[in-house]
Structure 1
């Protein structure tokens, strides 16, 4: 083993797993952590208030191997995976961080293959994974290929990564906002878009090799997107607004167009659902950004949107007009 590899083998890796009512699956996840060829890890499991016997199962692993730790989300923190992820980060002692989901499976080289690609200049390594069904039957691999640049490809979902994919140098995360626990949908997108913004290609490595199994569930949030849920829509709008700002800063017309269209869709869909709170929120936050792109359209959107809210009715003709104008 070279000196570099030997030095890396001494680095502690913190695996952080938030969990909630996964008694039927988390054992497989923790077994896959135990099976890692790289052995210098700590596994911080943060329970989010499970009501089944998840805690009992985790305790069996804690008793068997001191590298496993069980913690409970403090009651003064918001419920949800994001608060648990952030709490776990605060407890971590590793030089590298990998958040992981409580129903997925690591290949035995999940840590070692990513760790091999780190150098002093690299802050994060991104690996591929494999989509599987609930019984671990293979559906397809995640294909990772940068087509333009990381931030853009990720937001346009041409570079499809999830939390499991990324091993991150802890020092790179210090003094950065982690997972926004007030966002109820799209937390990963919010987190990684902030992490990837202005990240130069010499700061990360991509390993296009599947190193974990990613379970697809029929009842996950991604399969429940047909119903209109105000809180979920608000999260979507917040993320779109922040990334529209970044697209404008980058002067990337494709990104700005994508998020302008998304905000217009959210506005008119909100009108259909009588969700005037989110409609007003879009008018207040999006108008200045539309104005910075096209002054005439920014003013027209503000006046028209206020009128549509007043009459409780949208207009497909105006929606089409705004999208065409913002794309001009």
Structure 2
């Protein structure tokens, strides 16, 4: 029989973390799942340290990413999606800890036919994880649809890769862009929601992300050029998608053009304006906005300092 949930886990040289993650998956209160572990060509002893778990629990499967998928997290996840047998798909990282009720509570919300995904709260931890879970099933919730796309993109409504369970149908026409090495889930998830998929968000922490400098996010904030260039590429893909779907509002244009100041080395602002195909007057207006913005930001910071002093 096919499992109801497919857990997709990309891994790369995480032998020192992955066993704890797999053991936490085994403690899920919902038991009808498969966990597809996709190795991205790691050189450590990951396969060796998880061998006992693979032998004892056939819900876990270990696969090596074939060369037909691009090396990296998006390629591994796409391979996992193509292997998955479940009606629902969820992505777990190889160094994090899911709450024992993660699958159970998401599935309860996804029973409604009009709901395509369930988002939940993701907390973070450093070093050792303290196992003290809240098993309450009482929480508030709200619905999410394409009217919330702006909040998704400016991170008012964060969509972390491991904070959503999806109906498998969401991936029938959608895949990760395999050239992206950062912000790949931000780009894909906004594309899915902008296509009309409706979901629910529950106010309960169901996942715990381990923070360390070797993570993709850690590398981005250390100004890794590969991660930064990927983010710039993801922004262009998002702008193009929203333009095609006529969802690119004035405030979103303003947000992305302002944000592109941090990516000046990639000429991101100019690329965004080219995608927008504006009139000469409109393009000059946004170029002026971009040119003046650094001075406005410095003035704003000076005012904040002055207000604090007085």
Q: Deviation per CA, 1:252-276: give whole Å up to 9, x if none.
A: 2221101112234423xx1xxxxxx
Counterpart position of 1:307 = none
Alignment partner, residue 3 of structure 1: none
Distance 1:41 1:157 in 2: 30
Q: Using a 3 Å threshold, how does the CA distance of structure 1 residues 224 and 234 change in structure 2: closer, same or farther? A: closer
Matched, 1:71 2:63: yes
Per-residue deviation at 1:97? 0.5
CA contact (8 A) 1:134 1:215 kept: yes
> Which string of whole-angstrom CA distances, capped at 9 and with x for unpartnered residues, describes residues 179-218 of structure 1?
1110122112111121221536xx2111110012111113
Runs of 4 or more off by more than 6 Å in structure 1? 143-148, 321-324
Contact 1:62 1:68 in 2 (8 A): yes
Alpha-carbon distance between aligned partners in 2 of 1:23 and 1:94, rounded to the nearest angstrom: 26
Structure 1 stretch displaced more, 242-251 or 44-53: 242-251
Alpha-carbon distance, 1:43 to partner: 0.7
- Please tell me whether residue 287 in structure 1 is matched to residue 288 in structure 2: no
| Unaligned 5+ runs, structure 1 | 1-9, 271-277, 305-316
- Kindly tell me: are residues 65 and 224 of structure 1, through their superposed partners in 2, closer, same or farther at Cα, counting changes over 3 Å? closer
Which TM-score applies when normalising by structure 2? 0.80
Which residue among 102, 119, 124 is the counterpart of 2:94?
102
User: RCO higher in 1 or 2 (8 Å CA, sep ≥ 6)?
Assistant: 2
In the alignment, structure 1 residue 128 sits paired with structure 2 residue 121: yes
TM superposition shift of 1:290: 5.2
TM-score by length of 1: 0.76
- How far has the Cα of 1:58 moved from its partner? 2.3
Question: What residue is the counterpart of 1:61 in the other structure?
Answer: 53
Deviations 1:148-172 (A, max 9, x none): 9432111111112311111111122
- Give, in angstroms, the shift of residue 286 of structure 1: 2.8
Distance in 1 (alpha carbons) for counterparts of 2:15 and 2:72: 17
Comparing 97-106 and 233-242, the one that deviates more: 233-242
Conserved 8 A contact 1:290-1:297 = no
Q: What does residue 112 of structure 1 align with?
A: 104
- Check whether the contact 2:109–2:118 (CA below 8 A) recurs between aligned residues: yes
Aligned with residue 164 of structure 1, among 158, 162, 165: 162
For structure 2, list consecutive stretches of 5 or more residues without a partner in the other structure: 132-139, 297-310
RMSD: 3.1
- Corresponding residue for 2:206? 211
Q: Partner residue of 2:25?
A: 33
The answer on whether the counterparts of 2:73 and 2:181 sit within 8 Å (CA) in structure 1 is no
CA gap 1:144/1:256 in 2 versus in 1, 3 angstroms: farther
Equivalent pairs counted in the alignment come to 284
Asked whether the equivalents of residues 126 and 212 of structure 2 are also in contact (C-alpha less than 8 Å), the reply is: yes
Match of 1:182 in 2: 179
User: 1:145, CA displacement in angstroms?
Assistant: 7.1
